[in-house]
Amino acid sequence: MKKLVKFFAGNRCAGAAFAVLAIFTFMALGTEIYSIACEYSGTLPAYARTSPAECYMPPSPAHWCGTDFQGRDVFLRAVAGSATAMKVGLTAGLIAAFLGTALGLMAGFFGGKLDDAVVWFYSTFAAMPTLLFMLAFALLVKGDFLAPPLRTGFAVLGFLLHAEPGMIAIYLAIGLTAWVSLCRVIRAETMKLKSSQYVLAARVAGQNPWAILFRHLLPNVFHLVIIYFTLIFASAVMTEVIASYLGVGVQTSPSWGVMISDGQDRLWRGIWWEVAAATGFMFLLVLSLNVLSDHLRDKLDPRSR
């Protein structure tokens, strides 16, 4: 705890952003545990319970953010939507961080044809429209166009992550298109570091190239991985909201994108609270991630000190 306080000392905004992110993490974990328990017990979660007599109720002490067109509590649905947002951010961020770091390190260190292949690879992915790739990938999975082994694999991943197969496709699609910027940065940094004295000394000492890669180079670029991971996390959350808003993301689980889609047609009637709740939750999460990313860059990047 003392190290954590010291890390955020002098920057109250970053400390507040970390606190907000911790709250979202606890809400997501609590929602996942609660929803799994409800599934096994055969009960309906509180955020999914409808009440036709309480449709379109404005914010009140009984319903802090009002109710939607089915009488469901908007605040509970917004809290439950944090689980979807955190899962997509974490999963897509880990996929992108792994691909970007591994390919960037190998391309920058070994060079030659491997470097040319990686550059061609990330240039190809950079030229793909991210949203169209994600939509096509999701529709491919939902339409049962995959081979049986792949369908089984998506079903297993859906069980492990407690998500629909279509959402697994969204997770993978975002992760497979978000690694390009990190790969470029890691590749450039590795090309610079491989001519440093400690790397040259390790080569002269006869160390294995892979040992040099993971023992000497990876620790010196890991701060970039952490910084870009938070940025990819925030971008993945917004991308999932767009996908769910367009109807190709979440179908049954709560999602901020679905809430915005459901509530937009009733804004002209003055029923604003559903859209406001979903937008507000997304704004707080993305803002905290961006503020935390800036603080991590200032603390971890030697060039900014």
Strands (E), 207-289: none
* Greatest Cα pair distance in the chain: 78
- Cα–Cα separations (whole angstroms), residue 259 to 92, 162, 247: 22, 20, 11
Residue type, 300: L
Lookup result for tokens 């974490």: 90
pLDDT of residue 295: 80
- Which residue has better confidence, 165 or 73? 73
Residue 103 has pLDDT above 60, yes or no: yes
- Please, are residues 161 and 171 in contact by the beta-carbon 8 Å criterion? yes
- Please, are residues 66 and 58 in contact by the beta-carbon 8 Å criterion? yes
109 vs 197: CA distance, rounded Å: 15
- Please, are residues 38 and 252 in contact by the beta-carbon 8 Å criterion? no
What number is the average pLDDT over the span 190-212?
83
Most confident of 95-104, 135-144, 203-212, 238-247: 95-104
pLDDT of residue 141: 72
Confidence of residue 302 (pLDDT cuts 50, 70, 90): low
pLDDT of residue 157: 76
If 0-12 CB within 10 Å is exposed, 13-18 middle and 19+ buried, where does residue 114 land? middle
Instruction: Tell me the pLDDT of the chain averaged across its residues.
Output: 84
- Which residue has better confidence, 246 or 4? 246
Query: Per this entry, what is the length of the chain?
Result: 305
Confidence of residue 104 (pLDDT cuts 50, 70, 90): very high
Q: What is the pTM of this model?
A: 0.87
pLDDT of residue 301: 63
- Which residue has better confidence, 300 or 195? 195
Q: Where are the alpha helices (DSSP H) in 128-217?
A: 130-142, 148-161, 165-177, 180-193, 197-204, 209-212
In order of start, what are the domains of the chain with their CATH numbers?
Answer: 10-47+64-304 (1.10.3720.10)
Rg of the chain over all Cα atoms, to the nearest angstrom: 22
Confidence of residue 9 (pLDDT cuts 50, 70, 90): low
Residue type, 42: G
Residue 83 has pLDDT above 80, yes or no: yes
